[in-house]
Structure 1
Amino acid sequence: MVDDEALMRRVAEGDRAAFARLMDRHLSRALALAERVAGNRGDAEELVQEAMLRVWTEATRFRPELGSFRAWFNRILVNLCLDRRRRPTGLSLEAAGDPADPAPDALAQTLEARANAALRAAVAELPERQRVALALCYWEGQSNQQAAEALATSVSAVETLLVRARRLLKAKLLPPDGSEDRNP
């Protein structure tokens, strides 16, 4: 298997097949990350396309000695996501979500959906750097070091972002007495 850095050298020389192979390798992970940061699938798809275009047009700027391709690509994608969030455009259909199912088939599904909705809403209210740190470390499974590279900050800053995010989520999702048995 050809590694990402070797493929990037070929991409920098204009090799479209190498570019396609590299993007295929990272597409699903990039979409998941962008969707978590951007908040909806439609924006995520646009952001990933824009990030891929930047990889193609900026391929000669990639320096493997400064970090992995994945970290470089994540940095491009996260920057695009944050830029998009800073300049909101109207509410998209994807952001509005699907209409609620009027007849859920079980109480458990309803409770789970409410809990998931409460979690999504609480995460959406987090400051964007905390939300991005959560997405990278918890949903993408990246190390704190990798998240620090993607956020262009230190590992200790990422750890602080995660602690603060967990504290805010706990305050929003648990009752004041701190018990975890809560019906949403």
Structure 2
Amino acid sequence: MTMPLDAMNDVPDEALLVLFANGERAAARALTLRLSPRVLAHAYRLLGNRTEAEDVAQEALLRLWRVAPDWRQGEAKVTTWLYRVVANLCTDRLRRGWRQRPLEAAGDPADDRTSAAEDMQERARVDALQEALQSLPERQRQAVVLRHIDELGNPEIAEIMEISVDAVESLTARGKRALSDVLRGRKDELGYAE
């Protein structure tokens, strides 16, 4: 018997993965709809290229489906495992010599409640942040994105990055300082008052 998709809204990620492993196709759809936006956003922030991020997100989810039959509940959260896979795939691409192409448009739908000037200002801010993130060393960028954009806690970041909580705190502090230094001279241009 197949469960309706909306009945899976409150089912934890780990349980959905086990349901998929047991043949429940709707569980895979529900988990994909739940996790894809976060996985794609994380990959994009690490790589700075939407096309490459889409490839990484797709590969990470495929790996999740492959491990589903062997998933051992309680050992790791699905999201923790997935963030680690995304980070590793991004690192592999960067180390293989893949180079960024110019930043792409985000493709987010325009909000009808804002003016064109406000939309342009917000786009400039997003682009400036993305450029600044790309200037950080890889591990700092990953820690800053996980902590301040994906809003994960330091213990979960430590698990994802396979480092100590103290190391996470150090990486995020150094990353924030570096971002501040990079963006300091652009406050007026980006519409931020002192």
Of 145, 162, 168, which aligns to 1:152? 162
Give how far 1:74 is off: 1.3
TM-score by length of 1: 0.79
Structural mapping, 1:27-176, within 5 Å: 27-89=36-98, 92=101, 95-97=102-104, 116-174=126-184
Gaps of 5+ in 1: 99-104, 176-180
From the superposition, tell whether residues 71 and 109 of structure 1 become closer, same or farther in structure 2 (CA, over 3 Å).
Answer: closer
**Bigger CA drift: 54-63 or 30-39?**
54-63
Q: Does structure 1 conserve the Cα–Cα contact (< 8 Å) formed by 2:45 and 2:133?
A: no
Q: Does structure 1 conserve the Cα–Cα contact (< 8 Å) formed by 2:103 and 2:127?
A: no
CA–CA separation in structure 2 for the residues paired with 1:61 and 1:158:
30
Q: Does structure 2 conserve the Cα–Cα contact (< 8 Å) formed by 1:37 and 1:131?
A: yes
- Count of residues paired in the alignment: 170
Aligned to 1:15: 24
Give how far 1:50 is off: 0.4
For residues 18-76 of structure 1, give each alpha carbon's deviation from its aligned partner in whole angstroms, at most 9, with x where no partner exists. Answer: 22221111111111111111212111111111011101112234333222111111111
For residues 96-140 of structure 1, give each alpha carbon's deviation from its aligned partner in whole angstroms, at most 9, with x where no partner exists. Answer: 535xxxxxx75x777666555443222111011111111111111
From the superposition, tell whether residues 15 and 168 of structure 1 become closer, same or farther in structure 2 (CA, over 3 Å).
Answer: same
What residue identity is the alignment partner of 1:143? Answer: G
CA–CA separation in structure 1 for the residues paired with 2:56 and 2:84:
12
Gaps of 5+ in 2: 1-9, 106-115, 190-194
From the superposition, tell whether residues 116 and 11 of structure 1 become closer, same or farther in structure 2 (CA, over 3 Å).
Answer: closer
CA–CA separation in structure 1 for the residues paired with 2:141 and 2:155:
16
CA–CA separation in structure 2 for the residues paired with 1:116 and 1:55:
30
Q: Does structure 2 conserve the Cα–Cα contact (< 8 Å) formed by 1:62 and 1:72?
A: no
Instruction: Report sequence identity in percent.
Output: 38
